[in-house]
Structure 1
Amino acid sequence: MKKNVLLVSFDDLLAYWRYRDVFGEPLQVPNLDRLCARATVFRNAYAQAPICGPSRASFMSGLSPATTGIFDNRTSIFDRVPDRALWPFRLKEAGYFNSSGGKVHHGYGALRRRHHKTLYHDNQKRFDPDMHFPQGVEKQKFGGHRGGWAATDPADDHRFYDHEVSTSAATFLAGFDAAQPFYREVGFYSPHGPFYTPARFRELYDPDRFQRPETWDRNGFPDEPFIRDRVPPNPQLEAGNTGWWQQSLRNYFSAVSHGDYHLGRVLDALEASPHAGSTLVVVLSDHGYHLGDRNRFSKFTLFEQSLAVPLIVFDPADPTPRTVDDPVALLDVGPTILDYAGLAPIEGCDGRSLLPYLRGAGDPDRAITSFSNDGATVRQDRHRLIRYHDGSVQLFDVESDLWQQHDLGRDDPAFAPLDAELRRVCRAQGFEIGATDGTG
């Protein structure tokens, strides 16, 4: 019997396990923790783009941004890839009941009707699209990045996008009784800015307990003239406003905990449903986020903080906790789900099924590439190489240097083979970066 598939997407959630305790005040994610306690956790999973639209277009199609040519949020996947070419359509063709539910494709609203009808069986769903704050809600300003607004009356909890999404998912799980398997999407807003939550999630964290990692001040960061204008540092951080940074970090952590709470509502509903023993759960995020390092509170860069994401796969038939340290890609999500469904791989797909990893195999030498308007990058083994469009390059050992503060340079033994691999992929996919002779 084919498994159901529950795909849960967070928005702007970095690979949280790397940052759980590095700031002094621990991140609280009890529901992600309980899922990981019986799932396979891919600890080095990477987005193929550090921005929402291109990343989501990539993992929903199985095609890299270099293949689709989508590098910004203005370009829709449906401008470049037919809706019938997306892997959810393959599930629908194979007899799955497909159901949407929140932001999985780019955008918080429903897809255009013609695309929705192609990909899903149920009606379009429209959750509260107000990205700034539900109208008429009593609120308090906690400070920090984008103000730190939070709703003070618990009676308003139901007004939040994530509450509507988790309620919709819970209703679906309780009521679905068809004989066919289902594919259900759950797309959360959290922790995307402006980080609005009920106030109780702010109260989980004491901003005065947040401390900057000592290495930020002791070692500093390499200069990045090419990206400085494209991804500007935050003025408050450049001015050394520690209080503002602490408040901003509280806002982000609070938003993560808010999303985790609603994940818990969905997991509770699944466990209480008839589908608990037959539903594959896949949890991911579209890309990561900088939390004050490099004086940035943003995404968009080609560093680990922007590209490393959570990727968790729970198979109820094998609830054994595992961690996989080999690099993998969000591109692999579609091929993995199709493999579980017993369907053929996507023709021309840039990803691969992770099912062998869940069964104990691996590929520690695999190279994972990502792309942006600034250039391209590859992660292989313990190194990340970035090549920008102006020809400049950076090489880091990301296992020993989490914040990428020490550029190893061109003379490091890892440079030449990594640069050759990155240039090979870029040539194969028609992506142009800076000087390719190794001298740029």
Structure 2
Amino acid sequence: MPQAPGKNVLLISLDDAVAYWHYRTVFGQEIQTPNLDRICAQSTAFQSAYCQVPVCSPSRASFMSGISPHHSGITGRDARYLDRFGPENLWPHRLKSGGLYCSTGGKVVLGYRALPERIHRILYSDAPETYAIAPRRRRFKDRMLPGHVEFGGFRGGLAADTEAAEQKLYCNTVADRAIAFLDNYDGAAPFYRGVGFQSPHGPWTTPRRFKEMYDPGAFRQPAAWAGGFTEPDAAGRISPANFHNSSRWFWKQSLRNYMSSLSYADAQIGRVWDALKASRFADSTLVVIVSDHGLHLGERNRFSKGGLWEQVANVPLIIHDPATPEARVVTDPVGLIDIGNTVMDYLDLPAIPGSLGQSLMPQLSGTPAPDRAIPTVHGDNASIRKGRYRFTRYACGTTEMFDLSTDWWQKTDLGPGHAAYGDMQQAHAACCSAHGLPPAASAA
């Protein structure tokens, strides 16, 4: 058997995954993530990690480049952002230039389809992989998709009911090909492999058994939701309500769809993890597990992304260094913008020029993370997490500040009269200035 090449990187990305540790039993029924749990038993879980944009493409542009959204110019939905922000700016290109064999499968950089070949060639060493995308309810309307059944709720709750239908699911194929890569790669160069799952992004299609893991009747809305939520008009403009929470049964079915998809993603991650740990790369591969952003799960009449509250900004981030396989929990705020320089640090490559991201490698050995303000922006609207507080300033000048230690659902705006408001306002202005936001969004 050939020797395992030097340091490798396996990046596993989820789509729309909430920071699940905050939701373990919050809805009255335990979330099932046995594989992530066993991975965390020998990894570092960053439980206060934040996306830089709560929307797919700009978030991925930021964490795959290490560049702040306003520095790259990718601050909103942009399916063609690589035409403006060249692929040479993404850190897989730096890895390829540094001698790694670079490969990817699924949604990592942009979208569920393969990248255009000219872009793929710049970033990766192999040929593009193509995947079948899960049908959404509107595509088959009044006829049922063969091999599937519906469980109800938002987006229909589609489930694969036959082995043939299950094998065709996007995430199953992504895992199959990642496993094949780990089983078959025999190059002399170290590798980077991206593994991009669709789940738990809608339409939340899973094998039937994952829907049946959850009893919708057992879900309960948190007591904090009672009385509803208040919010400034500016919040509704960037993230409109899209879900009516008045029908409790519909909400319970919808939550079952989401949680089953999260558990399905967990199962696929477990398959890839087991393949890695059974391979010759087990002791030489950094594993990064991350989501591009979170999702509202019915609160604020939303089953969507896009806002600047904690439930969308906070995401799971798990990093496994085989040299320090210990369970650690980091609650200091960090950003997805840190992933690129963490990878560069692990591989002993130069830091990314112009990146405000910091390597998280010291935290894998127990060093506390620096006290920082971590931004999440949507256009020129900006929020920061610093210490126990979330401070948001919308482009129109409206502000919100919440104490997350006592008000995780963010129902009570502390307002300018709070003792910490001035310090948070200054931290917000300094953070926005450093990350390139225009003065209107960072003015004191």
Q: TM-score normalised by the shorter chain: which range applies?
A: over 0.9
Does 1:315 pair with 2:324?
Answer: no
1:160-309 matched pairs, under 5 angstroms = 160-217=169-226, 220-237=228-245, 240-309=246-315
Does 1:159 pair with 2:163?
Answer: no
Provide the C-alpha distance between the structure 1 equivalents of 2:358 and 2:19, rounded to a whole number of angstroms: 21
Superposed CA deviations along residues 112-148 of structure 1, whole A, max 9, x for unmatched, are 1111111111110001134527985322221111111
Provide the C-alpha distance between the structure 2 equivalents of 1:73 and 1:229, rounded to a whole number of angstroms: 15
For residues 164 and 436 of structure 1, do their structure 2 counterparts lie closer, same or farther at Cα, with a shift above 3 Å needed?
A: closer
Does 1:115 pair with 2:131?
Answer: no
SS of match in other structure, 2:226: helix
Does 1:337 pair with 2:331?
Answer: no
Name the stretch that deviates more: 130-139 or 241-250: 130-139
- Cα shift at 1:235: 4.7
The aligned residue for residue 405 of structure 2 is: 399
Provide the C-alpha distance between the structure 2 equivalents of 1:21 and 1:302, rounded to a whole number of angstroms: 23
1:41-52 matched pairs, under 5 angstroms = 41-52=45-56
Provide the C-alpha distance between the structure 1 equivalents of 2:39 and 2:154, rounded to a whole number of angstroms: 30
Amino acid aligned to 1:387: R
- Cα shift at 1:390: 1.4
The aligned residue for residue 370 of structure 1 is: 376
- Cα shift at 1:76: 3.0
1:140 to 149, 166, 177: 149
1:37-76 matched pairs, under 5 angstroms = 37-76=41-80
Provide the C-alpha distance between the structure 2 equivalents of 1:106 and 1:296, rounded to a whole number of angstroms: 24
Superposed CA deviations along residues 286-320 of structure 1, whole A, max 9, x for unmatched, are 00011111121111000001110111011112111
C-alpha contact 1:14 1:310 (8 A) present in aligned 2? yes
Amino acid aligned to 1:166: A
2:20 to 16, 40, 47: 16
C-alpha contact 1:392 1:434 (8 A) present in aligned 2? no
The aligned residue for residue 104 of structure 1 is: 108
TM-score if structure 1 supplies the norm length?
Answer: 0.95
Question: How many residues matched?
Answer: 435
For residues 436 and 160 of structure 1, do their structure 2 counterparts lie closer, same or farther at Cα, with a shift above 3 Å needed?
A: closer
Amino acid aligned to 2:124: Y
The aligned residue for residue 90 of structure 1 is: 94
- Cα shift at 1:85: 2.2
C-alpha RMSD of the superposition:
1.7
- Cα shift at 1:236: 2.4
Provide the C-alpha distance between the structure 1 equivalents of 2:399 and 2:416, rounded to a whole number of angstroms: 8
- Cα shift at 1:429: 3.9
Name the stretch that deviates more: 71-80 or 391-400: 71-80
Provide the C-alpha distance between the structure 2 equivalents of 1:217 and 1:244, rounded to a whole number of angstroms: 17
C-alpha contact 1:364 1:381 (8 A) present in aligned 2? no
Amino acid aligned to 2:196: G
- Cα shift at 1:234: 3.4
For residues 298 and 5 of structure 1, do their structure 2 counterparts lie closer, same or farther at Cα, with a shift above 3 Å needed?
A: same
- Cα shift at 1:199: 1.3
C-alpha contact 1:281 1:314 (8 A) present in aligned 2? yes
C-alpha contact 1:395 1:415 (8 A) present in aligned 2? yes
SS of match in other structure, 1:164: helix
Amino acid aligned to 2:239: V
Amino acid aligned to 2:320: F
C-alpha contact 1:375 1:433 (8 A) present in aligned 2? no
Provide the C-alpha distance between the structure 2 equivalents of 1:111 and 1:303, rounded to a whole number of angstroms: 31
C-alpha contact 1:388 1:434 (8 A) present in aligned 2? no
Provide the C-alpha distance between the structure 1 equivalents of 2:342 and 2:284, rounded to a whole number of angstroms: 16
- Cα shift at 1:75: 4.9
TM-score if structure 2 supplies the norm length?
Answer: 0.94
For residues 145 and 404 of structure 1, do their structure 2 counterparts lie closer, same or farther at Cα, with a shift above 3 Å needed?
A: same
- Cα shift at 1:221: 1.9
- Cα shift at 1:67: 1.2
For residues 437 and 431 of structure 1, do their structure 2 counterparts lie closer, same or farther at Cα, with a shift above 3 Å needed?
A: closer
The aligned residue for residue 79 of structure 1 is: 83
Provide the C-alpha distance between the structure 2 equivalents of 1:186 and 1:18, rounded to a whole number of angstroms: 24
Name the stretch that deviates more: 126-135 or 30-39: 126-135
Provide the C-alpha distance between the structure 1 equivalents of 2:441 and 2:63, rounded to a whole number of angstroms: 29
Provide the C-alpha distance between the structure 1 equivalents of 2:63 and 2:219, rounded to a whole number of angstroms: 34
Provide the C-alpha distance between the structure 2 equivalents of 1:167 and 1:436, rounded to a whole number of angstroms: 46
Detail structure 1 runs of 4+ shifted over 6 Å in the superposition: none
Provide the C-alpha distance between the structure 2 equivalents of 1:434 and 1:390, rounded to a whole number of angstroms: 8
- Cα shift at 1:356: 1.4
Give the share of equivalent positions with the same residue, in percent. 47
C-alpha contact 1:388 1:433 (8 A) present in aligned 2? no
Provide the C-alpha distance between the structure 2 equivalents of 1:123 and 1:84, rounded to a whole number of angstroms: 18
- Cα shift at 1:389: 1.3
- Cα shift at 1:243: 0.4
